[in-house]
Amino acid sequence: MAIPEPTTQGLAPFKDWHTWYRVTGDLNASKAPLVVLHGGPGAAHDYTLRMARLAERDRAVVHYDQLGVGLSTHLPECGADFWTVELFLDELDNLLAHLGIAGRYHLIGQSWGGMLAAEHAVLRPEGLKGLVIADSPASMKLWSEECDRLRAELPAEVERTLREHEAAGTTDSPEYRAAEKVFNARHVCMIVPNPPEVLASDAKTAEDPTVYHTMNGPTEFHVVGTLQDWSVTDRLHQVTAPTLLVSGRHDEATPRTVQPFADHIPDVRWQIFEHSSHMPHIEEEELFLQVVGSFLDSTD
């Protein structure tokens, strides 16, 4: 099915900058709108656009580009002390207020977006009706440990190439990028060649990698940025919103990385997509839309 066209698009003023957003559907519909938080950090919204089809269930779906990527303000001159979890929490709160939906909304966060959504949810915002954490770790320490385990299962020459270039600081080399694609085809998106919207997000990250490189690192599995010690595990008991966990059987967000969400969020359920890696919303699109749509309907 085709990705639906947006009903509206706009720019939300945020401090001295702006946040670009698009809305599919009617924000005043009877069902609470869904806000989509993309990954990265710094990956842009494009690869999550199939989630706009949830508007087919008479629910508005809001996509936005987080500060620093895509159609929102770019700030390549800003350093690590600027790019914080708190910055992106403030941006989300600002967008909810700008759209007039802070009193009633759902969140779905994919990868880093799920980490951000969890950080938002532990604050117990009154308007949050339902939470979907998709393909996200509760701890970056767990994420790194599991990525190391998955890397050990790669062909020996691929893993050797990765290690050698990481040690030499040459992660921009063509050899490293070719080896990275082997991991990604197993654990990020198993549809190869990748769909156009995934390539679009990748291109936007490559165009301005400031946020991704600062907070994460050069690749999904070599986390050397400011998020490397991040964890929300010890605060998850504070989440009051009904929560759906989503992950793929072959996901780089392995069951071990997701387990703390299941262990500590009081009202939680978990769907593992058997034929997916990190992008069930693409790899098993129809089932994903059915599962997530039904959950959201149950929490309105």
Set 45, 187, 222, 278: catalytic member: 278
Catalytic residue, chosen from 120, 251, 276, 277, is: 251
Q: Are 106 and 132 in contact (CB under 8 A)?
A: yes
Q: Which DSSP string corresponds to 105-119?
A: EEEEEETHHHHHHHH
111 is catalytic: yes
Active-site entry in 65, 72, 111, 165 = 111
Residue 251 annotated in active site: yes
Residues assigned a catalytic role = 111, 251, 278
